[in-house]
Structures are given as structure tokens and as C-alpha cells.
Structure 1
């Protein structure tokens, strides 16, 4: 069996070397002007430095350009893609065809990962974007394990699956928090509220707290639980899924490093000795549970249940 890539979203440039040493194979970074729901803000200088450090350690860096683009940003895309090509980014993550078309014109050698977060729900759609130029498709978080395996069997592109961390439940381009506070006669600075970790929508009936933040792309409401399937990787590894993603949004660097170490161990053991992984996987889950914040219960997301739209 081949080893899937272990992809992590770091919070800053300072995370790159520790996460590389912890076992990450690749990183996804970017700035909110062009990318959605990133674990940290990486301006151009930070992108260049992160790529340099990662490459020095034999790791890859993919840069997010998966925001929802309106007319006023289209003229900027060419310059940003040229910059990413010049600093030798290993790939660009996109959802909008405007990015794909720009890359074709400006940096046709650049690897493209298609990621709209919600519409990667069948292998035919994945292959459609592959035939348009994408080398990888990122699957929706709302599909189950059987569907993931079936999609990999039919895919003509690499397949990426999130295996750990929170997921997005809602996005609006509107400044919902800012508008609410303004309505209440209060002022709210939202430009940096993305990094405020104590803002929630509280569902008292179900006992859930949904993290909420605003950035340049609007308002984001996140899941009350964290996905964790460190003990359920074997079927996807055997199917040949190409990349497992650890989502670092609203997580500390220390937490990300420890989780990365545990998933590195899980992947290596599962590939090299599946029987040992079977014996070890419960212990790996217990290790993550020890460092998991009390406010963020672990669950298996939609991996073992059907989504009803």
C-alpha cells in the first residue's frame, strides 16, 4: 500500500518546522483575501518563507485561492498566481474557474487542486475538473466512507479527505456579526475577529457551541465538534486515498503538533503492518482525547452516516 500524504494547515510560519518534524508531508496556507477559512494569515512574505522552510525539509506547500471571487478581484489574480509561481508553490487550491483560467494563462505548469468544500460529492464531478486541468479533488465533508471509497475507485485525479478538525457549517458574504452589533448600537471591529477564539453561537437546547467569526470573505459558522477518525483510516488507505488533511483552524500550534504526530504514527503503522494498526488504533484515539479541549467533543462526522440534503 502507498502512504497517503499527511496535509496540515499551520497557524503561522513558526509552525512549519515543528509540524514537518512531527510528520506532516505538506501544508496548505494563504491569506484571507484569496483563501477561505485558513488556520493562519500568510501574507506574501510569509508565503515565501513558509515555502522555503518546507522545501528545505522536503515538504510541499499548497496555497489557497478558493475564495468566492467577485469582479473587483479578478484583475488581481494574475499577479498573485505569478507570485506563487516565482516562489515555487507546489500547488494552488481553487474553486472558482477564474483561478483555473488564470493559472492556465500565467503559470500553466502549476498543479491545481479543486476544492469547493461542498460539491465534491461524486466521482464524475471530480473527473470533470480533472479534465479541465485539476490534478486533485477535495471531497465534501458530508459524504460517508462508502461513497469516498467508491469515488476513489473511479477517480482519474488524486483524492483528498479531511480526517481531523472542525468543519464549516455556514458561510455568508454578509457581515452578519457586524450588522447585528451595529443594530444593537455597538461597534465591532471584524477585520481581525477571525482570530478571536471566544465567539460562539450557543444552542442551549442541544448543549452545542458553534464557533463563529468574520473575515474578508464574510461570516463563518463552524461545527460544534471535531472530526477524528484516527482509528478508522485503514479502508481509505487500502483504497488508495491520496491525502489526509488535518484542519488547524482555531487550534493552537501545540495541539496541531501533537495531533500530527499521532496521525503520522497511525498512517505509518497502518501501511507497514495493518494488524498492528488494528491493535493500536484505540490507544491512538485515547491519546487525542487526552489533549482534546472539553468544549470540542470528537466525533466521526458523516463518515458512517448518510447525509440528507
Structure 2
């Protein structure tokens, strides 16, 4: 049984490094053109070169999204862009449009092509069709059950890899093909500009009673609203592996570095635990605990277990129980002094949890807080300010300090 790839989102260079440091085998990101996250911190050519070097030095891969549905004007310069990506050493491109696939095969035939989930591949014959067009990997539509995935992987050639989302935001439209944003805001969701109107709070108004707003809510027969819960398959790693999925994909190029670190760490630990002892594998609650701490909507298992009616629900709010408050930039073993970059306001004497790439989380207390000038301070209120604290437990560069939002300041 082939060990699956863990594929993480990289919305910025910092997030790329975080994903790799916390255990991702590969990352996917948006370059300077034609990707569906136009408002993410997409990579310039210089950043992409640095990211590729960082990943390749550590034996990891980088995939670049070119997954828009391009209009005529979007195709201008596509040949040069593809050649540039190939020359930089990009490991694969993720594409949804046949025209871009055809162009890639013409100008960079050696560059690996992955079919985006936007192409809505939901059956094995379509997978074989795309594979014959030169596509190495199929990113499945989110609307498939595990039973359908198993049948698909059994019937396609071994040379065709299957990738599927296992965690993150879901879309109320069919694998992202939605035009509500276009109509409501003038921002084209299929050209990277989605305004996410499915997350808005809606009320009904009857035309003869203006000003009377009727709430939209869920009852025992289902929900009548657009937004979706978040996918989470951390409790079903064996089923995912046995289905034949090669790449486990995490959604979230617009999410924080903390999100990337926590999600990647939990799935890395779970996958590794399964392959260390498939027969004795047991789910560990600590994996889910990490996922519960990051900002998320209520979790569910999507369409994997033939229960799609649970996708829609009445509350579009995020659950945000924990914040990242600092990033460790250095630690002096001789003095026990840690240098921290502030990420959210934190106070002298606060108890915080340390999220580390390897090993379990643990708790420390921030004592003797000082600013960069060595002056005693009661809190670190300014974004990205550098401060020091005394910590008995040795910290490592890159450790993340997170804090329960409900905990009281000392």
C-alpha cells in the first residue's frame, strides 16, 4: 500500500515554509496569473524561486494553480507564463481548462499536469479520458462518496494518481462552479475573485411587506441556506488510505500560518501512525484537539459517507477558540530567554500552549517579559513587535505560541 502524499496550501512564502516544516510532502500555491485565489498573497517570481528552493532542498514538491476558467483575454501571455514556471522547476501545474492543458502540452510537454477539482471529475471514465490527454493526476470533485472513489481507483490505470480534499472549507456550488458572486458583486468566482456571498447572513422579505425580515433557519428536515460546514476527515484516515486516494489535500490558501501548522501536524501524525502499525492503528484525540483550536466552521465529513444533506446549516460563523500570540525566533539555552515575535496581544504571566512541528503540544508561562530595548513590559500589544521572556522549557525557532481566548490574563 502506497503511503499517501500530504498536500498543504501555501498562500504565501511564510505559509509554504510553515507547511513544509510541520510535515507536508508538497504544497500548492498561486503564481502571478490565472489562479482562483486572486486575493491571496500570491507568489511573485522571486518568491516562487525562493519557495521552490526551500521545498526542493527538503525533498518536497511545489504545485502551481492555473485553475481559472479563462476568457479570451486571460489567455494572453499564457505560453510565456508556462515556460517560465517550467524553467523555474515547478513540479506540476493544477489546471481546469482544456485550452490551458492543450497549451501546456504544446509548449512544456515535460511539465506534469494535475486536473483541478473545478473540472468536476466524478467518474472513472472521465478520469481515463483526462489521463489520455496527458493529465498525470486527477483532483476529484468533492461530491463523491468513498464507495465511488474506491470504484474509480480500481478502474483507472496505475499511472494515474488520485488526489482528494480531506480537510477545509466546502462550497455550496458543484465543486466551486458558482456564479452568485458574479451577479451580486460583479466579482467572477471562476476567475479568482469570489466574494463568498454563500457566507452572508440572509433574511426573506415578502414584496408587499417591505422592512419585515423573516429569518432563514434549519429544521429537522434540513437547512435552507447557502453556507457549508467545514470538511474534516481526521477520524477516517484508514478509510481514506484504503480507498486508493494518493494525495490528501488540505484546503486553505487564504488561512493563517497557524491554521496550516495545526492542520498539517495532525494529519501528518495520523498518517504516520497508520503506516507504523496498520493493524494496531487507533485514532488519537489529540489530533482532533489541534483541529478544534484553529478558526473553523462546524466540522462534518462532506459527501464521503453518502450524507450530503448535512452540508447546509444555519450559522455561517467561525469557531475561534484559540489565537496565535507569538512565534519563537530564538532561544538561549544558557539564560533560558526566548525571543518572540508578537502575533496577537499577550500579557506577562500568561499561560500559553506551544505548537511544535514534532511532538505533542505543551504549556509554558511567559515570565519576565521585556521589549527589544530590555525594558520590563506588562504586555506585548503591538503587531510583530519583538520581545523576550524567561522560559524554563527549551523552545525551538518556529514554535508557535497559542492561547485559549477564554483564559484570563494574569
User: Shorter-chain TM-score: what band?
Assistant: 0.7 to 0.9
Quickly say closer, same or farther: Cα 1:177–1:206, change in 2 above 3 A: same
Please give the alpha-carbon distance, in whole angstroms, between the structure 2 residues aligned to 1:87 and 1:285: 37
Structure 2 residue matching 1:142: 3-state secondary structure: coil
**Equivalent position of 1:287 in the other structure:** 290
**Equivalent position of 2:217 in the other structure:** 206
Quickly say closer, same or farther: Cα 1:223–1:272, change in 2 above 3 A: farther
**1:76 Cα offset (Å):** 1.6
Structure 2 residue matching 1:29: 3-state secondary structure: strand
Structure 1 residue matching 2:104: 3-state secondary structure: helix
Structure 2 residue matching 1:61: 3-state secondary structure: strand
Residues 179-229 of structure 1, C-alpha deviations (whole Å, 9 max, x = no match): 59xxxxxxxxxxx987x999941155337xxxxxxxxxxxxx985321000
The answer on whether the counterparts of 2:262 and 2:294 sit within 8 Å (CA) in structure 1 is no
**Equivalent position of 1:304 in the other structure:** 305
**Equivalent position of 2:109 in the other structure:** 108
**1:97 Cα offset (Å):** 1.2
TM-score by length of 2: 0.63
**Equivalent position of 1:42 in the other structure:** 43
The higher relative CO (CA closer than 8 Å, separation ≥ 6) is in 1
**1:273 Cα offset (Å):** 1.1
Matched, 1:169 2:176: no
Q: How many residue pairs end up in the alignment?
A: 281
**Equivalent position of 1:260 in the other structure:** 264
1:1-309 → structure 2 map (5 Å cutoff): 1-31=1-31, 33-37=33-37, 40-117=41-118, 119-156=120-157, 157-170=160-173, 171-172=178-179, 175-178=182-185, 200-203=199-202, 204-206=215-217, 223-277=227-281, 279-289=282-292, 291-293=293-295, 296-305=297-306
**1:145 Cα offset (Å):** 1.0
Please give the alpha-carbon distance, in whole angstroms, between the structure 2 residues aligned to 1:37 and 1:304: 29
Please give the alpha-carbon distance, in whole angstroms, between the structure 1 residues aligned to 2:33 and 2:111: 20
Structure 1 residue matching 2:94: 3-state secondary structure: strand
Structure 2 residue matching 1:89: 3-state secondary structure: coil
**1:174 Cα offset (Å):** 6.2
**Equivalent position of 2:402 in the other structure:** none
Quickly say closer, same or farther: Cα 1:160–1:42, change in 2 above 3 A: same
Structure 1, unmatched stretches of 5+, are: 181-191, 208-220
The answer on whether the counterparts of 2:37 and 2:193 sit within 8 Å (CA) in structure 1 is no
Structure 2 residue matching 1:143: 3-state secondary structure: coil
Please give the alpha-carbon distance, in whole angstroms, between the structure 1 residues aligned to 2:200 and 2:253: 17
Quickly say closer, same or farther: Cα 1:206–1:44, change in 2 above 3 A: farther
Structure 2, unmatched stretches of 5+, are: 203-214, 219-224, 310-410
The answer on whether the counterparts of 1:30 and 1:47 sit within 8 Å (CA) in structure 2 is no
**1:35 Cα offset (Å):** 1.3
Structure 2 residue matching 1:232: 3-state secondary structure: helix
Residues 256-296 of structure 1, C-alpha deviations (whole Å, 9 max, x = no match): 1011000001111112212443x22444223322x143x61
The answer on whether the counterparts of 1:123 and 1:155 sit within 8 Å (CA) in structure 2 is yes
**1:151 Cα offset (Å):** 1.0
Please give the alpha-carbon distance, in whole angstroms, between the structure 2 residues aligned to 1:263 and 1:282: 12
The answer on whether the counterparts of 1:163 and 1:228 sit within 8 Å (CA) in structure 2 is yes
Bigger mean CA offset, 43-52 vs 250-259: 43-52
Quickly say closer, same or farther: Cα 1:6–1:112, change in 2 above 3 A: same
The answer on whether the counterparts of 1:167 and 1:222 sit within 8 Å (CA) in structure 2 is no
Please give the alpha-carbon distance, in whole angstroms, between the structure 1 residues aligned to 2:88 and 2:115: 21
Residues 60-104 of structure 1, C-alpha deviations (whole Å, 9 max, x = no match): 001111100111122321011011011000001111111111111
TM-score by length of 1: 0.82
**Stretches of 4+ aligned residues off by more than 6 angstroms:** 196-199
Please give the alpha-carbon distance, in whole angstroms, between the structure 1 residues aligned to 2:279 and 2:286: 14
Structure with the larger helix share: 1
Please give the alpha-carbon distance, in whole angstroms, between the structure 2 residues aligned to 1:53 and 1:197: 33
